[in-house]
Structure 1
Amino acid sequence: MRLEHVNLCVRDPKATAAILCDLFGWHVRWEGAAKDNGYTVHVGNEESYLAVYAPAVALKPEAERYRHVAGLNHIGVVVDDLAAAEARVKAAGYQPHSHGDYEPGLRFYFDGPEGIEYEVVSYD
């Protein structure tokens, strides 16, 4: 068994997808019209992806992370080179925070496109 995808609501799926592809070396797997007259872009690799979806309705503000039932706290992404990933995050204008060195690996977090928090981890 494996996790195939996670679907996120965003205001601008094309812009969010482009940033995530640049940060993580992903590619667009598919994009097009989606549920309820919305638009979705699938970004990731051959095994898994994020579906970044914009519905045709106004989105409500995000609930406070770690304080909302069924809320999204963060998305974890495994990278081979943590320093290179952090450099890309900084170059894109995001501020890494909460660096950690604990089992099973090194990590940092950043608030990325649409205010979604990402955990970037390396197990090497």
Structure 2
Amino acid sequence: MSAILEHANITVTDPQGTAAWMADVFGWHTRWSGASIHNGVSLHVGGADSYLALYQPPTQPQAPGNSYTTRGGLNHLAVVVNDIKATEAAVVAAGFTPTNHADYEPGLRFYFRDSDGIEYEVVQYDD
């Protein structure tokens, strides 16, 4: 048996703004948007086979604690890219700061946090 992760659902303050920078940085597109649970709004952004559900509650979401010390905390989301240098330039152009660069087996990586404090890992694997 095998399984494929189809989507993850995260709470953000501005789904449209988050989807816009994801389109610029990762080349993703909005697959769907509309009313959602608890009178909130959701927007699905991604590619043909997977996406992130960006959820905005009807009231301002609370700032997160340290995910690494919170049970069930989301520590980071990882995205595989073909051109890590071009992606890093797009991350900088979007106003985010790349950190923790590493050349490791089997590729390259860096991290950044978006305006909601969500950490992303960008990975390019050696061919």
TM-score by length of 1: 0.95
CA distance in 2: counterparts of 1:113 and 1:20, whole angstroms: 12
Mapping for residues 44-123 of structure 1, pairs under 5 Å: 44-123=46-125
RMSD over aligned Cα atoms: 1.0
Extract unaligned runs of 5+ from structure 1.
Answer: none
Quote the offset at 1:25 in angstroms: 0.3
- In percent, how many aligned pairs have the same letter? 54
Secondary structure in 2 matching 1:95: coil
Aligned to 1:38: 40
CA distance in 2: counterparts of 1:65 and 1:34, whole angstroms: 25
Aligned to 1:22: 24
CA distance in 1: counterparts of 2:107 and 2:114, whole angstroms: 21
CA distance in 1: counterparts of 2:96 and 2:60, whole angstroms: 25
In structure 2, do the counterparts of structure 1 residues 113 and 58 end up closer, same or farther at CA, with 3 Å as the change threshold? closer
Contact 1:19/1:113 (8 A) holds in 2? no
Once the two structures are superposed, residues 9-51 of structure 1 have per-residue CA deviations (whole angstroms, 9 ceiling, x without a partner) of 0111111111111110000010111111100110000110000
Contact 1:8/1:53 (8 A) holds in 2? yes
TM-score by length of 2: 0.93
